[in-house]
Amino acid sequence: MIYFAKMIFHLLIYNLILQIALSEPNNYSFPENFIFGVATASYQIEGGWNEGGRTESTWDYQLHKNPDLIVDKSNGDVACDSYHKWKEDVQLIKNLGVNFYRFSISWSRILPQGFKGSEINQEGVTYYNDLIDELVSKGIEPYVTIFHWDTPQALESQGGWLNESIIDDYTYYARVLFTLYGDRVKTWITFNEFHQICEEGYGLAKKAPFENLTGVADYQCGHQALLAHSRAYRIYEQEFKPIQGGNVGVVIDSVYGAPKTDSELDKNAAELQMQFDFGWFFNPIVYGNYPQVMIDRIDELSKREGYNTSRLPKFSDNEIETMKGSFDFLGLNHYTTNLCTLIGSNNFPNPSHARDCSVETSADPSWKPSAASWLWYVPWGMRDVLVWIKEHYNNPPVLITENGWATRGKRLNDTDRIEYIQNYLSEVLKAIYEDNCNVLGYTAWSLMDNFEWTRGYTEKFGLVHVDFNDPNRTRTPRQSYSFYQEIVRTRRLVNK
């Protein structure tokens, strides 16, 4: 009798525990291996533009020459002054509790002359050594972006990403970084957002070097950058990975292209838009070449325009082999969604990337706008873009390397940013649990307010506010900082 009573008692306890466990909406818990981080980029935060032997990047050069390029005529000369305040930044990251910090290295701090074979600047090397050591000592993994847009001006004045000799310069630079820091850095990102570098930088004159040869220079830039990426990947794979054991990924940005209506035409438009913006770069990295639809359309339009070769450069068989599968993970920068519909190619300037794609994009009038003109609150786009990637590239490992919301002014009560993070992360969980997407982790953009390119200091993305009028660049955490801290601590979405 006693034996049975004991057994029943145990069963009851067991059931009670089980019930408590089941009553938790465990679909809102993050998987065990899911990692959290925050991100920044060198030109946006460091300042110290001419200190410690650093030379001008294309951004320094352009903005020193023409302040009018930036809405508030500012630049990154001082920015958040992280060149001096990096220890304080690491403490903020430590208090946030995240697993990793994604930052970028300023090429011209390490190699002031930029070129292959040029001298390594010891002061620059020390700056990042100190930063990396501080992170490691506090249990934060350093995730390093090798190139986040700040091409040394010495290289830009030779044509930058339009000159194929930059491929050797870049791989030399990457090898220098693997050698210097690879003992402690186990996660490398070759490039941040090819699309912005090439389309905005060389096609539409919206980012440095502010060139506007769309339909030609953007494709040339993309071609060199993809080749540079794949060569750096192979160098690491063959020479460093066997000893250092790290991973090399690439960051591609995607404004998700959704069909404007349910019509087949709009579905085709959305697919075209995704192939021309995202597939342009990720298709070569996964499958070795540009999306076939891009090759065909640009060949055809180039012919009609009187070119005797396609405006889209071609990869050799060797290049295709080197390119194919040149990633350990995809870094996805995703913020927002556009609606897509087809539009005749004669509505666009001739030639242009926009004409090659011939899709008109818009925002739904019901979408909540942010302080950034291009960024609307569309949480479901996060899930849809993850599913689109899964379906087109055989469910690759995806690390969300940027996601964030823009506000204005000092406002610390950033409930809109909190709502954005909450609901975008909720869609990430749906993609993981309901769609089986292979998502490794999430990175909030950004640790702190910083130099937002042509928007200067007018648009804020920080979990931490930075006072740019204060010579001390005082940092003050916003409510979203505590909110994200709580998600990282509990590993679940709260208030839901």
CA angle 285–30–426, rounded 5-degree value? 80
Q: Site for ligand NAG (CB under 6 A): which residue of 158, 423, 458, 485?
A: 158
Q: How far is the CB of 24 from ligand NAG (least distance, A)?
A: 11
Give 252 or 382: the residue with its C-beta nearer to ligand NAG.
382
Q: What would the two tokens of residue 386 be?
A: 């993850």
Tokens read off for 253 = 């940005």
Q: How far is the CB of 205 from ligand NAG (least distance, A)?
A: 6
Binding residues with ligand NAG: total (CB under 6 A):
19
CA dist., res. 474 & res. 479, Å (int): 16
Binding mask 395-434 for ligand NAG (x = CB under 6 A): ------------------x-x----------x--xx--xx
366 binds ligand NAG (CB under 6 A): no
Residue 68 contacts ligand NAG per CB under 6 A: no
How near is the Cβ of 361 to ligand NAG at its closest, in Å? Answer: 20
Phi and psi of 413, rounded to 5°?
-85, 70
Q: 């001298």: which residue's tokens?
A: 119
Structure tokens, 171: 């791989």
Shortest Å, Cβ 441 to ligand NAG:
17
Contacts of ligand NAG in 427-446 (CB under 6 A):
429-430, 433-434
Of 301, 314, 283, 295, the C-alpha closest to 358 is: 301
List the beta bridge partners of residue 105: none
Is the link from the previous residue into 209 a cis peptide, with omega within 30 of 0?
yes
Give the footprint of ligand NAG on residues 23-52 (CB under 6 A).
25, 27
CA-to-CA distance for 248 and 101, rounded, in angstroms?
A: 16
Give 313 or 325: the residue with its C-beta nearer to ligand NAG: 313
Task: Work out whether 165 is an interface residue with ligand NAG (CB under 6 A).
Answer: yes
User: Is 486 among the catalytic positions?
Assistant: no
* 380: contact with ligand NAG by CB under 6 A: no
Residue count (the chain)? 496
Q: 376, 488, 372, 478: which is closest to 425 by C-alpha?
A: 488
Annotated catalytic residue, options 141, 319, 402, 459:
402
Compare residues 205 and 320 and give the one whose CB is closer to ligand NAG: 205
User: Shortest approach of ligand NAG to residue 166 CB, angstroms?
Assistant: 7
* DSSP sequence for 35-76: EEEEE--HHHH---TTSTT---BHHHHHHHH-GGGSTTS--S
What letter does residue 246 receive in the DSSP assignment? Answer: -
Q: Between residue 445 and residue 484, which ones bind ligand NAG under the rule CB under 6 A? A: 470, 472
CB-wise, 25 or 67, nearer to ligand NAG?
25
CB of 136 or CB of 371, closer to ligand NAG: 371
C-alpha 237, offset from chain centre: 22
> Please, which residue, 211 or 328, has the CB nearer to ligand NAG?
211
Q: From the list 34, 172, 307, 380, which residue makes contact with ligand NAG (rule: CB under 6 A)?
A: 307
Q: Per the structure block, which two tokens stand in for 388? A: 């689109």
Query: 99 near 135, Cβ under 8 Å?
Result: no
User: What does the DSSP assignment read for 437-469?
Assistant: --EEEEEEE-SB----GGGTTSSB--SEEE-TT
Active site residue 32: no
Q: Would you say 247 or 302 has its CB closer to ligand NAG?
A: 302
Among 163, 196, 310, 423, binds ligand NAG (CB under 6 A): 163
Burial 144-178 (b: 16+ CB within 10 A, else e): bbbbbbbbbbbbbeebbbbeeebbebbbbbbbbbb
> Which of the following is catalytic: 193, 319, 360, 452?
193
Residues near ligand NAG, by CB under 6 A: 25, 27, 158-159, 163, 165, 205, 212, 307-308, 413, 415, 426, 429-430, 433-434, 470, 472
Catalytic residues: 193, 402
